[in-house]
Each structure stands twice: as C-alpha cells, then as structure tokens.
Structure 1
Amino acid sequence: MPEPGVAPGDPAVLMGFDFGTHLIGVAVGNTITGTASALCSVAAERRQQRFEAIARLLAQWSPSRLVVGLPLSRDEGAEQERSAQARRFANQLHGRFGLPVAMIDERYTSRAAEDSGAADVDAESARLILEQYLRDPAASRAP
C-alpha cells in the first residue's frame, strides 16, 4: 500500500521519533531501501528548544512524513498514559510543521535498542520504530 502523498515508486525521506519525557530519539530513513539510520536524541524537557532542534533536523533532511512510536502495554497492547503523551507530541509535530504524521506500535523497541549496545539508545529505538513502519505502513495508527 503506497503512502498517502507519495506516488508509488517515488523516493521519500521519512523521519521517526521515539518520544520520551527526557529525551526524544530521532532517526531518518527512506522508502527506496526500506531502512533507517539513528540520528540523535533531542532533549525533551523544554518545549521551545525541543521544537527548535526538531525544526533544524527537518530542514536538514526534508522528510515527507513523520513517524512517532506509540507506547502500548506489553500484554494486551492497550494504550496507557505514555500513549496519550506520544499522541500529543505527534499532534504538535503535525500542527507546527504541517507534515503528515503516522504512529506505530513501539512495543519492545526500547528493549531491542538497549540489547543492541547502541551508544544512543533513544535514537536506535527511533530507528527500529521507523524501520517497522517502512516494513508495514498499513499497520500505522492515526495520532
């Protein structure tokens, strides 16, 4: 299923986020290779600085779509308090930058990122979230 706003076969750059209250992991990927790379983590505590840092990354990479991990409970996949925070962040991204935002189940990505030994676990988690979306964009949920 092609992404809305991207013609089939056209390359598209996507940016993924692993939202946290202290740090937000960021990754970038593309639809041609279906892979993503961890970029960095952005400090999340101060809203203005958070969105200024994200704006710089968006200007540098020019993504056509953003993907935010949706934290769900491990057992039944139900939403939790952190789910609402991630949805709010996704809505803020859309409102501030006017880009389409998809959300995808992020269960176990933080654990996999920790187990990988990555230097920046949050950015690695964002990479895993984005690659999951690239494998199956139909599994995404609205913010």
Structure 2
Amino acid sequence: MREGTALAFDFGERRIGVAVGESLLGIAHPLVTIDSNVNDERFAIISQLIDEWHPTDLVVGLPMHGDGTEHAMTQLARRFANRLKGRYRLPVWLVDERLTSVEAEAMLNEVGLRGRKQKPALDQVAARAILTTWFEAPGTAV
C-alpha cells in the first residue's frame, strides 16, 4: 500500500459500489454506485473517477462463502480486478469482503435508511467497508 488516494469497488453483476479514501489517514467515504450491467458504461464511469481522484491503488472486494470457499461471484470479481489492472496500470488489491454488506446494512439502519431506501447507498457503503478493511490489512495484490 502506497500513501495516497485509493478507490474501492464492491463488484456486482448489476451494480458496483465505489468508495474513496486516503491511506495516510485510513479514512474511507462512500462515493457512488454504478448501476449498469454494460461493461463499456461501467468502465467509462470508472475512467472518469480515476481521472478525477488520481488513485495510487484500486481495491476490489472478493466475495466468498462464509466458510472462506470461493463461488461464482468470486471468479467474476477476480476478472473485474484483472480488467482494472490491465486498463489502468495501477496496483489492484483483492480484499475478503465477507460481511461487508451486512455491516453496510447495519450502518444504514443506524442512520434511518431501511428497506428500499437503502438500495441506492448499500453498495457504496459496502465499498467503504472494503476500503476500511484494506487500510487495516492490504490483502492480496493482483
């Protein structure tokens, strides 16, 4: 992990939550949810975010079963991470994202967002949790 700005991604087939943070401070903030299943649209938005934030690192949440075994979404998240590395030539890190959605849901419940009102923010708050985890333990480089 280098000092600087990092962008984190909570990858999904339909939505990708994005968070931003500074490694020096170890503080992450929800940023945006990319709501599209069209790769060209997704990467156009990601390119804009990279141009705007100039990150030193990219972090992708790696979904796993509760027992730590991989499943179909694990492979899709790995593929997404490899695409990020290939397109942007930045260090890309994989971080175990187990329970980040549960944590994000609990955080949104605390501020009064429940049910359908959570949907627009849930993925970016999960990305925030992924980035916070990375600040504490960088995970695995792609």
TM-score, shorter chain, exceeding 0.5: yes
Identity over aligned residues, as a percent? 40
Q: Given that residues 35 and 131 in structure 1 are in contact (C-alpha distance below 8 angstroms), is that contact kept between their aligned partners in structure 2?
A: yes
Match of 1:98 in 2: 89
2:77 counterpart residue number:
86
AA partner of residue 25 (structure 1):
G
Q: Residue type matched to 1:136 in 2? A: A
Match of 2:37 in 1: 45
How far, CA to CA, are the matches of 1:129 and 1:30 in structure 2? Answer: 13
1-side partners of 2:50 and 2:36: how far apart? Answer: 16
Give 2:129's aligned residue: 128
CA contact (8 A) 1:25 1:124 kept: yes
Write the distance in 2 (CA, Å) between the matches of 1:27 and 1:108. 17
Offset at residue 111 of structure 1 (A) = 1.0
Describe the SS at the equivalent of 1:133. Answer: helix
What is the number of equivalent residue pairs in this alignment? 132
Does the 8 A contact of 2:60 with 2:94 survive in 1? yes
| 2:19 counterpart (23, 27, 30) | 27
Q: Secondary structure at the match of 1:36?
A: strand
Structure 2 residue 106 is matched with structure 1 residue 112: no
Contact 2:91 2:141 in 1 (8 A): no
**What is the distance in 1 between the residues matched to 2:92 and 2:14?**
21
Per the normalisation by structure 2, the TM-score is 0.89
Query: 1:101-128: per-residue Cα shift (whole Å, max 9, x none)?
Result: 0000000001111121165000000000
Tell me if structure 2 keeps the 8 A contact 1:24–1:43: yes
Tell me which amino acid in the other structure corresponds to 2:126. Answer: S
Structure whose residues are more often helix by fraction: 2
Structure 1 residue 34: Cα displacement: 0.5
Q: Which residue identity lines up with residue 131 of structure 2 in the other structure?
A: L
C-alpha root-mean-square deviation of aligned residues, in Å?
Answer: 1.2
Flag structure 1 segments of 5+ consecutive residues without an equivalent.
Answer: none
CA distance in 1, matches of 2:33, 2:105: 14
Structure 2 unaligned regions, length at least 5: none
